[in-house]
C-alpha cells in the first residue's frame, strides 16, 4: 500500500494480526492518512474473528499474508521483514495491531533517524488508546535511570528531539534495514513476549543504540489486558520467557548468565517457600536448571540468528 507521495527513504510497515477486529480500522486508516508514504505488509496469524477477510475486503492496498496457524509475534513479523528487505525497503516500521499512528509520526521518525546513524531502533512516545496519558508500561521505560534527561527536560519544557534509551517495547519501532542485516531478525525461539528484549540485547551487543523521540507519538490501546490473567501458570510461563532472555543474552558469558538467573529466580524460590507454595518453588528451580542448560547450548545463538537471515536473503 502506498499512502501519500513522499520523497525520501522507503518505509514498509509490518503488522502481525491476530483477532484484531477491534483495532484494524484505526491501525490501517492511520497509515493511509500518514503524511509519509509507507507500504504495508500484514501477516495474519489465523484470526478467527474475520480480521483477514475484513482486510481483504476493505484494505486491498495492503499486502496480506494469511497463515494457517498462530505463528506468534516473532515468526509472523519475520515473514514480513524478510519480504520488505527483499523488496529493498530502507526502513522497517514495526507496528502492533492494537496501535495506530498520527499523521506526522512516520515522517518525524524518519527525519530524526537519518540524523542518528548509531541508532538502530527509534521509538515514538506511546500514548494510551484515548490519548489521555502515556501508556503505563511505556512510561516505565523512560524513567531517569533508563532514559537519562527525558523526564526532566519534558517537565522543564526544553526537550530535545532524541534521547538514548536502554530498552523499549516493540509496539512501534522504526528500524533501518542495515540493523537487520547486521544482527538478524527476531529469534523464533520466542513465541509471544520476550522476543523484543532478546532483540534489544543483540542491538547493544553489536554496538548500536536505541532511541526515543518526544517529537513523535502513537496510540497503543492495551488497557484492556487484565491483570486477572496473571494466574500461576501465566506467571510460570512469564518466568520461562525471562529465563530464555537471560540465557540468550550475548552481552554476558554463560557463567555470568547463570549468576543472573540465580539472582532473579532464587528470590522467587525463597518467596514461594516462605508462603508454603512448594509446587511453585519446585517449578522455579526447574526453570533455573533449564536456564543453565540453555546458557551453554545457546551461547552463540546471536550469531546463528544473524547467519540465518544472511542465508535467507542471499
Above pLDDT 70, what percent of the chain? Answer: 94
Residue 43 in grid coordinates: 501477516
pTM of the model: 0.93
CA dist 148 and 133 (Å) reads 21
- Give the pLDDT confidence score for residue 228 in this predicted structure: 45
- Give the pLDDT confidence score for residue 6 in this predicted structure: 64
Q: What pLDDT digit, counting tens, does each position of 161-206 carry?
A: 999 999 999 999 999 999 999 999 999 999 889 999 999 999 999 9
The yes-or-no verdict on residue 31 having pLDDT over 90 is yes
CA dist 217 and 181 (Å) reads 27
**Which whole-number Å values give the CA distances from 35 to 5, 7, 32, 99, in the listed order?**
8, 11, 9, 17
**How, if at all, do strands 163-165 and 63-66 pair?**
unpaired
Domain 11-225, second-level architecture: Alpha-Beta Complex (3.90)
Grid cell 521518525 is found at 109
Residue 239's H or E segment, with its range, is helix 232-247
CA dist 96 and 15 (Å) reads 6
Q: What pLDDT digit, counting tens, does each position of 100-141 carry?
A: 999 999 999 999 999 999 999 999 999 999 999 999 999 999
Name 85's Cβ contacts closer than 8 Å, sequence gap at least 6. Answer: 92, 177, 180, 181, 313
In the chain, where are the structural domains located? 11-225, 230-304
- Give the pLDDT confidence score for residue 3 in this predicted structure: 45
Q: What pLDDT digit, counting tens, does each position of 271-286 carry?
A: 889 988 898 899 999 9
Sign of CA dihedral 16, 22, 28, 31: negative
**301 near 183, Cβ under 8 Å?**
no
CA dist 185 and 123 (Å) reads 18
Amino acid at each position: 500500500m502506498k499512502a501519500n507521495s513522499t520523497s525520501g527513504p522507503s518505509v514498509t510497515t509490518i503488522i502481525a494480526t491476530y483477532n484484531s477486529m477491534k483495532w484494524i480500522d484505526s491501525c490501517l486508516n492511520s497509515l493511509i492518512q500518514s503524511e509519509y508514504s509507507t507500504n504495508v505488509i500484514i501477516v495474519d496469524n489465523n484470526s478467527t474473528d474475520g480480521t483477514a477477510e475484513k482486510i481483504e475486503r476493505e484494505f486491498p492496498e495492503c499486502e496480506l499474508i494469511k497463515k494457517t496457524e498462530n505463528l506468534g509475534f516473532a515468526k509472523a513479523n519475520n515473514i514480513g521483514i524478510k519480504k520488505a528487505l527483499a523488496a529493498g525497503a530502507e526502513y522497517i516500521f514495526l507496528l502492533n495491531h492494537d496501535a495506530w499512528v498520527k499523521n506526522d509520526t512516520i515522517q518525524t521518525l524518519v527525519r530524526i533517524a537519518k540524523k542518528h546513524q548509531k541508532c538502530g531502533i527509534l521509538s515514538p512516545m506511546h500514548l494510551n488508546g484515548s490519548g489521555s496519558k502515556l501508556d503505563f508500561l511505556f512510561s516505565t521505560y523512560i524513567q531517569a535511570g533508563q532514559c537519562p534527561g527525558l523526564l526532566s527536560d519534558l517537565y522543564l519544557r526544553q526537550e530535545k528531539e532524541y534521547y538514548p534509551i536502554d530498552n523499549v517495547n516493540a509496539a512501534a519501532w522504526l528500524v533501518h534495514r542495515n540493523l537487520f542485516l547486521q544482527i538478524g531478525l527476531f529469534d523464533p525461539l520466542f513465541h509471544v513476549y520476550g522476543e523484543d528484549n532478546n532483540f534489544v540485547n543483540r542491538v547493544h551487543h553489536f554496538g548500536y543504540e536505541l532511541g526515543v523521540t518526544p517529537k513523535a507519538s502513537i496510540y497503543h490501546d492495551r488497557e484492556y489486558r487484565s491483570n486477572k490473567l496473571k494466574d500461576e501458570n501465566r506467571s510460570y510461563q512469564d518466568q520461562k520467557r525471562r529465563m530464555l532472555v537471560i540465557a540468550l543474552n550475548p552481552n554476558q558469558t554463560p557463567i555470568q548468565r547463570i549468576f543472573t538467573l540465580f539472582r532473579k529466580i532464587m528470590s522467587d524460590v525463597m518467596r514461594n517457600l516462605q508462603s508454603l507454595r512448594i509446587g511453585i518453588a519446585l517449578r522455579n528451580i526447574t526453570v533455573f536448571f533449564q536456564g543453565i542448560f540453555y546458557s551453554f547450548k545457546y551461547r552463540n545463538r546471536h550469531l546463528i540468528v544473524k547467519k540465518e537471515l544472511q542465508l535467507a536473503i542471499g
